[in-house]
Amino acid sequence: MEPLMAIAIGIAYATAIYMMLRRSIVKLVIGILLISNAANLLVFTAAGLKRGAPPLIPEGASAPIGDVADPLPQALVLTAIVIAFGVLTFSVVLIRRAYLIVKADDLDQMKDTDT
């Protein structure tokens, strides 16, 4: 399972970087969305995959029984998803407003502040 995930994550990163290198701002935001999801998957995979063993404590016990999945990466990914969600909301609002002002979906026309 891990090699498959690794390949999938690699493809996601590559696609995201390709998207971020385009001139269109919409594609830039899609790239940002994709790369943060790729990073989440990577955190999840790097910590080890385990199927069908949720880290839940059965009734009456004080610790999970047997070999269970590590709950920490799941918590990390959840936090990272929340953050990515917030950032994405912000970037969508940002490009919407930028579009209203600049009237172009093209990063090459946004060079006024460059040096």
Residues that bind another protein (CB under 8 A): 20, 25, 28, 32, 35-36, 39-40, 42-44, 46-48, 70, 72-73, 76, 78-80, 82-83, 86-87, 89-98, 100-102, 107, 110-115
* Least distance to another protein, CB of residue 27, Å: 12
The closest of 28, 39, 35 to 106, measured between CA atoms, is 28
In terms of Cβ atoms closer than 10 Å to its own Cβ (0-12, 13-18, 19+), residue 40 is buried
* Closer CB to another protein, 65 or 94, in the complex: 94
* Least distance to another protein, CB of residue 51, Å: 17
Answer whether 85's CB lies under 8 Å from 37's CB.
Answer: no
Count how many residues are written for the chain.
115
